[in-house]
C-alpha cells in the first residue's frame, strides 16, 4: 500500500482556499500513484475554527466544500478532517473515494484542557468502522483518540485493523514532536499495528502546528517522517500485512481479548484495491531539530502566518538598541523578508549613544528600513501640559511610563497611516512580572516573544549570529546589561531579580504550577520566590490586555493559563492590588472573598433608591460573607483557602477546624515582600511597569475610600 501524508497549512474560515490546497495535494498523490492520502484534522475549515462552528451557515458551507473535494477522489482514497452536523455537531474524519463520501468517523475523545475547548463545539462519537483496501484493514482515528492508551485504537486492533490512521492538528511546544512520536511508537507496539499520523502545519493566532507527520511499523520503527514547520507530501510504501504474523506470536493481544466479554462488532467499509507499482518508495526520514532551531522556526512561522493570514503586507518594530527589539527585528526580517520590515528608533533624553548607534547598526545589517523619531520634545510637551496637576510632586514611575506610551502613540500612528502591523518586543519574563508598560511597550498587534524567557532571548540572539556566520545582531547589544532606559543609569536588575534566577522561578510557578512551599523546598532563594510570585500575581490584568504571541512553552499565557485578574495567588495566599481607589484588595481563594476595597469588588448595579454609601456597604458585606464560606482554619490556627491545598483542608476539616463563623481572612492576611533595591516601583502610582507594595500609601488610599462614601455613584 502506498500512503501519502499531506501536511498542509490551512487558514481558519477560508473554505475555498483550503479546498484548493486539499485538491492540489490530491492531484499530487494521484501522480505519485498513492492508494491513500491523509489530510489533517478539520482541514476543510482550518483549525481551530472556534465559534465559526456555532454558525449553521458555516457548517453547511463546510459540508458543501467536502462534497466538492470528494468528487475529485476517483482513483485515490482520501481521509479528510471536517465538521459534520447530524442532529449534533461532530469532529469527523471523512473517508472519500470513488467520487463520494464513503464513511464518517466521529472523534471520540474531545480534549478540553490547555489550549483545547472542543466540548464547547462538538459531541463525542462512539461508533467505529474499518476501511478495507485490498487485503489491508485501516482504522481511522482523530488526534486525541490515539493519545488514549485504550480504545478506540485497541478496539480497532482487536477487530483486525493492521494500520491505524490518525489525522491530527497537534499544537507545538518545544520538544512536542519527540513526546508525540514516543507516544505513537507505544501505540504501534501495544496494538501490533502500523501507524500513519498526519499533522497540520502552520500557525493560527498564537498556536503553531509543527507538522512532523510520521509513519511507523508495528514495532515502532519510523519508516518515514515529514520535515517540521513546512508543508510537505510524504509518500511511502508500507506492508501492514506483516503485522499479522507478529500478532500470532504476541500473547498480550490474546490476553486482552480474553478479558473482554465480547469483542467489538465493527462494520467494514470497502474502499478499493491497491494499484500496481513498478518501484517501491521507501520514504524520507527528516531529522528532528534541536531546541533553538525549533524555537526559531516556530517564531518565524507564527509571525509570517499571523501577518499574511490577517492581510498585512508590512510590519513595524521599535528598535531601542536592546536585545529584545533586536531579536524581534531579526526574526521578522527572516520570516517576512527585510523589505517588509520597518525599524523605528525613538530615543529620549535617557537613551545612550551606544544604544542609538546599535539600533542603526542593527537595522543596516538586516537591510530593513530605518527611521529615527526623537521624543524629547514630545515628553516635554506632555509634562508641560501636566505641570499643574503634577505640581509639588517629585518625578517617579509616571514620567518613565510616559515615554513608553509616547512611543506607542508614534508606532500606532505609523501603523494607521501605512497599514503596518506593530510587532511588540516584550518577552515572557517581563510579561510574567508586569515589567512592561500597559499601552506603552505592550502596545501592538502581535507580541512575537511573548512566550520566550529572557535567558532564551540571549540564547536565540547568539544562535542567529552563529547560524548566519556574522553579527546579524551586534555583539554590543548581546553584551549590554538589560535596561529600559527610562531614567538615568537604569538597569532591569534594579527592579527585578537576576534573569537566570527569575526565569527558573517563573518556569516552575507558571508552567509547572508549583507553590511557594514547593519552590523554597526545592532550594530556590525564598526572597527571589516571594518577589517573583508577588509580581506575577499582580500583573494578570496586564496580561489580559496583551496582544497574542507565538506559543512555545508547554504552558503559555492566554489560552493555556486562565486566571482571574482580581484573584491572584501568592504562595498559597490570595492577593489583588487596588487599581484606583482604596487599600490593596485582599481575597481568599475562590470567588473574591475578603474585600477591603469595596469599590473594587464584583460590579453590581445600584438598586433603585440606594445611595452610593449603602451600595459600598452592601458590596463589602457580600464579599465578607463569601470569605467566611470559603475559608477553614487548620489545627495550627492558620487561615487557608479552599483552593490552596485540598489535602491540608481535608485534614483540617476532619480535625473539626471550621472557621465559617470566625473572622474571615484574619490569620491568612499578609504583606507582600517588596524587594528593597533602588528604583523599586510604587504600586499605586501607575499601572505600567512592575510594582511592589508600599505600606505608606495605604493611609492615603483609605482617605480616598472615605471621600467616595459621600458620592451617589460608584466610580
| Catalytic residue set | 41, 107, 143
Is-cis flag, bond preceding 56, omega within 30? no
Beta strands 130-133 and 136-142, pairing class: antiparallel
Written as nine digits, the cell of 129 is: 468502522
How many angstroms separate the Cα of 57 from the Cα of each of 53, 60, 61? 9, 5, 6
Q: In sequence order, which residues have a C-beta less than 8 Å from that of residue 118 and are 6 or more positions away? A: 91, 110, 111, 112
Helices (H), 126-264: 144-147, 153-158, 176-191, 242-249, 251-259
Kind and range of the H or E run holding 413: helix 397-418
H and E: helices and strands count for the chain:
22, 24
Q: Using CB atoms within 10 A of its CB, is residue 230 exposed (0-12), middle (13-18) or buried (19+)?
A: middle
CA-wise closest residue to 541 among 469, 454, 434, 645: 434
CA-wise closest residue to 480 among 492, 469, 465: 492
**Would you give the DSSP letter of residue 319?**
-
**CA distance linking residue 657 with residue 635, whole number of Å:** 6
Which residues share a beta bridge with 421?
315
* HSE-up (13 A, CA, CB side) for residue 55: 10
**CA distance linking residue 249 with residue 327, whole number of Å:** 56
**CA distance linking residue 565 with residue 543, whole number of Å:** 9
Question: Considering just the CA atoms, what is the radius of gyration of the chain in Å?
Answer: 29
How many angstroms separate the Cα of 364 from the Cα of each of 83, 326, 373, 439? 49, 12, 17, 29
CA-wise closest residue to 627 among 642, 609, 612: 642
Written as nine digits, the cell of 369 is: 528600513
The 10 Å Cβ neighbour count of residue 148 is 14
CA-wise closest residue to 325 among 556, 480, 489: 480
Written as nine digits, the cell of 388 is: 499643574
Written as nine digits, the cell of 275 is: 494499484
Q: In sequence order, which residues have a C-beta less than 8 Å from that of residue 70 and are 6 or more positions away? A: 78, 94, 96, 99, 100, 101
Given a contact cutoff of 8 angstroms between Cβ atoms, the answer to whether 597 and 572 are in contact is no
Amino acid at each position: 500500500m502506498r500512503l501519502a501524508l499531506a501536511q498542509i497549512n490551512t487558514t481558519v474560515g477560508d473554505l475555498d482556499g483550503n479546498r484548493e490546497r486539499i485538491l492540489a495535494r490530491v492531484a499530487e498523490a494521484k501522480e505519485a500513484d498513492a492508494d491513500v492520502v491523509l489530510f489533517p484534522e478539520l482541514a476543510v475549515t482550518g483549525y481551530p475554527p472556534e465559534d465559526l462552528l456555532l454558525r449553521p451557515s458555516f457548517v453547511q458551507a463546510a459540508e458543501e466544500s467536502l462534497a466538492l473535494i470528494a468528487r475529485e477522489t476517483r482513483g485515490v482514497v482520501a481521509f479528510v478532517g471536517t465538521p459534520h452536523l447530524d442532529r449534533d455537531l461532530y469532529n469527523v474524519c471523512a473517508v472519500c473515494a470513488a467520487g463520494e463520501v464513503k464513511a464518517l468517523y466521529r472523534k471520540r475523545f474531545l480534549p478540553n484542557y490547555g489550549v483545547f475547548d472542543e466540548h464547547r463545539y462538538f459531541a463525542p462519537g462512539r461508533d467505529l468502522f474499518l476501511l478495507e483496501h485490498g487485503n489491508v484493514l485501516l482504522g481511522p482515528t482523530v488526534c486525541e483518540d490515539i493519545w488514549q492508551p485504550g480504545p478506540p485504537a485497541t478496539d480497532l486492533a482487536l477487530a483486525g485493523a493492521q494500520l491505524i490512521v490518525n489525522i491530527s492538528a497537534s499544537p507545538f511546544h518545544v520538544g512536542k514532536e519527540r513526546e508525540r512520536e514516543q507516544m505513537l511508537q507505544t501505540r504501534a507496539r501495544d496494538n501490533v499495528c502500523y501507524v500513519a499520523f498526519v499533522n497540520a502545519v502552520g500557525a493560527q493566532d498564537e498556536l503553531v502546528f509543527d507538522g512532523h507527520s510520521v509513519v511507523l511499523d508495528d514495532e515502532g520503527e519510523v519508516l518515514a517522517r515529514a520535515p517540521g514547520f513546512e508543508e510537505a507530501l510524504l509518500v511511502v510504501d508500507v506492508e501492514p500485512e506483516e503485522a499479522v504474523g507478529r500478532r500470532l506470536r504476541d500473547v498480550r493481544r490474546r490476553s486482552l481479548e480474553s478479558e473482554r466479554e465480547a469483542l467489538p462488532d465493527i462494520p467494514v467499509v470497502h474502499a478499493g484495491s491497491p494499484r500496481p507499482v513498478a518501484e517501491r518508495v521507501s520514504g524520507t526520514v527528516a531529522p528532528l531539530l534541536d531546541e533553538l532551531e525549533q524555537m526559531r522556526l516556530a517564531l518565524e512561522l507564527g509571525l509570517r502566518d499571523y501577518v499574511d493570514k490577517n492581510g498585512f503586507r508590512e510590519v513595524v518594530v521599535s528598535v531601542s538598541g536592546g536585545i529584545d527589539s533586536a531579536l524581534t527585528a531579526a526574526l521578522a526580517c527572516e520570516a517576512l523578508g527585510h523589505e517588509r520590515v520597518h525599524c523605528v528608533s525613538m530615543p529620549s533624553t535617557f537613551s545612550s549613544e551606544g544604544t542609538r548607534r546599535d539600533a542603526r547598526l542593527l537595522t543596516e545589517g538586516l537591510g530593513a528600513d530605518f527611521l529615527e523619531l526623537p521624543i524629547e520634545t514630545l515628553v516635554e510637551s506632555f509634562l508641560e501640559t501636566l505641570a499643574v496637576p503634577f505640581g509639588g510632586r517629585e518625578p517617579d514611575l509616571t514620567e518613565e511610563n510616559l515615554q513608553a506610551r509616547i512611543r506607542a502613540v508614534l508606532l500606532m500612528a505609523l501603523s494607521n497611516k501605512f497599514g503596518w502591523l506593530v510587532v511588540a518586543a516584550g518577552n515572557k519574563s517581563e510579561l510574567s512580572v508586569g515589567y512592561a508598560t500597559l499601552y506603552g511597550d505592550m502596545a501592538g498587534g502581535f507580541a512575537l516573544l511573548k512566550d520566550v524567557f529572557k535567558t532564551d532571548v540571549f540564547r536565540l540572539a547568539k544562535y542567529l549570529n552563529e547560524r548566519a556566520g556574522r553579527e546579524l545582531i551586534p555583539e554590543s547589544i548581546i553584551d549590554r546589561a538589560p535596561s529600559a532606559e527610562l531614567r538615568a543609569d537604569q538597569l532591569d536588575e534594579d527592579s527585578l531579580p537576576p534573569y537566570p534566577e527569575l526565569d527558573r522561578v517563573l518556569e516552575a510557578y507558571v508552567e509547572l504550577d508549583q507553590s511557594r512551599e514547593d519552590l523554597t523546598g526545592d532550594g530556590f532563594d525564598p526572597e527571589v520566590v516571594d518577589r517573583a510570585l508577588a509580581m506575577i500575581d499582580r500583573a494578570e490584568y496586564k496580561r489580559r490586555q496583551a496582544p497574542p504571541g507565538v506559543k512555545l512553552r508547554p504552558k503559555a499565557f492566554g489560552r493555556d493559563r486562565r486566571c482571574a485578574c482580581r484573584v491572584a495567588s501568592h504562595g498559597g495566599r490570595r492577593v489583588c492590588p487596588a487599581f484606583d481607589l482604596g487599600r490593596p484588595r485582599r481575597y481568599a481563594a475562590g470567588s473574591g472573598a475578603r474585600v477591603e476595597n469595596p469599590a473594587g469588588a464584583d460590579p453590581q448595579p445600584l438598586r433603585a433608591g440606594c445611595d452610593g454609601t449603602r451600595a459600598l456597604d452592601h458590596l463589602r458585606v457580600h464579599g465578607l460573607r463569601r470569605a467566611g464560606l470559603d475559608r477553614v482554619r487548620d489545627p495550627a490556627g492558620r487561615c487557608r483557602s479552599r483552593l490552596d491545598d485540598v489535602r491540608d483542608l481535608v485534614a483540617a476539616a476532619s480535625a473539626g477546624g471550621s472557621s465559617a463563623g470566625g473572622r474571615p481572612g484574619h490569620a491568612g492576611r499578609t504583606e507582600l515582600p517588596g524587594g528593597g533595591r533602588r528604583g523599586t516601583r510604587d504600586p499605586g502610582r501607575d499601572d505600567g511597569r512592575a510594582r511592589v507594595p508600599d505600606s505608606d500609601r495605604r493611609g492615603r488610599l483609605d482617605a480616598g475610600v472615605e471621600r467616595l462614601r459621600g458620592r451617589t455613584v460608584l466610580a
